[in-house]
Structure 1
Amino acid sequence: VPLIVNNAYGLQCTKCCSLIEETNRDPQVDAVVQSTDKNFLVPIGGSIVIGQSDLVSDVGGGYPGRASMSPILDLFITLMSLGKSGWLSMLRKRREMFKDFKMKLQRWTLERGLRVLEVPWNRISLAIDLSSLDLNSGTAATEV
């Protein structure tokens, strides 16, 4: 059974990129799958599969005649438009916005008796602990 890493949002985080790069040295990781829409600001429909060539060929062989050129073209245009400096600038802005959003979300949840979960190694997503909601009130799902 091949070990496949789901790197859906990973290119947005330099830490994830470093960890994925380390998997290249790990013979147990067979492939990494990345979503083009989540990582490259393009329409839904494309992905990038990185791994041993035989496995990547097998994955590609599973889509004969069904794959479209559109995701590749969208990705090419986006990367050419951004360039290296645009891409790095976008990553910097995302990091700044994440910190700002987390701070505002923490303030908002505190006002409501909730809390943002602290997951220091996760620099992509946030989660709110809803355990303080009264689940028997009938409105718990709409209280927030």
Structure 2
Amino acid sequence: MMSPDLIASLVMVTRVMGEMQDEWWIIGSAAVALHGADPGPVADIDILLSERDASQLFPQLGIPIAPGGAHHQFASTVFGIWNDPPISVEFMAGLRVMRDSRMQDLQLHTRTPVTAGTVLVYVPTRPELEGMLRLFDRPKDAARLGALRLLD
């Protein structure tokens, strides 16, 4: 079951994402929860969006347009945090992931609508989300993968 804070935050997300020109996705722990599994506490909501939409959205929300911070597994061309919702939202565009000793663009190929409370949000299909969690290959992603598998 999703927490009231998660649902309230997702309602706020849909309000700001409604004007976007390109597809966007919720990933990470919030996506696991939206698929009906228990990811544990959802500390933030991760959203993948296009650079074009980020350049439109960030100024509206007062978020500076900047590249993502240096991390040995991830990088993004644009990254920003929106702290107004009860659960903060991390927006990422141009996400790249370390794979086979080099950074590769993360390309999502599926998008499925999920109802959260009274709003519609978008996540990768379960198989693609599971593949993404395997690709990220962190302990918390393995736990999220295990939570999704419990749905079987």
TM-score (norm 1): 0.28
Could you say which structure has the higher helix fraction? 1
Larger Rg, first or second structure (1 or 2): 1
Higher relative contact order (CA 8 A, sep 6+): 2
